[in-house]
Structure 1
């Protein structure tokens, strides 16, 4: 039996923190599907810089990812229903409420576990593990 895992996020300006999250998510099962948020669904932080298709394609290029898809424009649970995962892996710092996700999964009859991936500390001086920090650094050094 194959264990299917879903990870999800914005993945704007892919960085080592994203790679850590996706590698850890992949280790939770046999197949990793990644749902890349559409710009219109990103309302908890600044809108992504890169378009959805670009972000999806870059995520799909990672060895640990079996398939990357764009999220649904109106209902973020539609791709989850279509993929029917065994595990949903949330990033360590994602804003999602685990209990609310579990309740919605149960309401929709989706039987899967929800786990949080661990974070990771920078491995060397000046390593940036946040898109926001990368953008801030670019603005600081280029403007």
Structure 2
């Protein structure tokens, strides 16, 4: 079964690796990395690392995974192309409000947090920014 994970994965940390490991244990791991411009639009700021750096970090940590950059026009396109059996969300991720989970072509699950007080990206960004 193909397991799809979406994310920014900026400064790949143990919380990210927890999500990716959980996904990998459930099936064939597919990862879609958010484009720099998409991250800016959604979060209001650019990631510290470029989309290519983030993609490379995930590929290096999970060499058996299929790692792709997101689609700039249609964020559903990777889902249609990959045809996952499961989409696994991180504890702090939500489907966009216009998406009804029940009408999705696959299961959607949300993982519980892994030490969010220590490994949440926004907390780590504060340390980096000083």
Q: TM-score range by the shorter chain?
A: 0.7 to 0.9
**CA separation of 1:24 and 1:78: change in aligned 2, threshold 3 A:** same
**CA separation of 1:97 and 1:76: change in aligned 2, threshold 3 A:** closer
TM-score when normalising by structure 1: 0.79
Unmatched segments (≥5 aa) in structure 1: 106-110
- Listed as ranges, the matches of 1:1-143 within 5 Å are 3-29=1-27, 31-42=28-39, 43-45=41-43, 46-63=45-62, 65-97=64-96, 100=99, 102=101, 105=104, 111-121=105-115, 128-140=118-130
Higher gyration radius (CA): 1
Q: The residue matched to 2:12 in structure 1 has which SS?
A: coil
**CA separation of 1:48 and 1:61: change in aligned 2, threshold 3 A:** same
Offset at residue 68 of structure 1 (A): 0.5
Moved over 3 A (4+): none
CA contact (8 A) 1:26 1:64 kept: no
More helix by share: 2
**Aligned CA-pair RMSD:** 2.2
Report how many aligned residue pairs link the two structures: 128
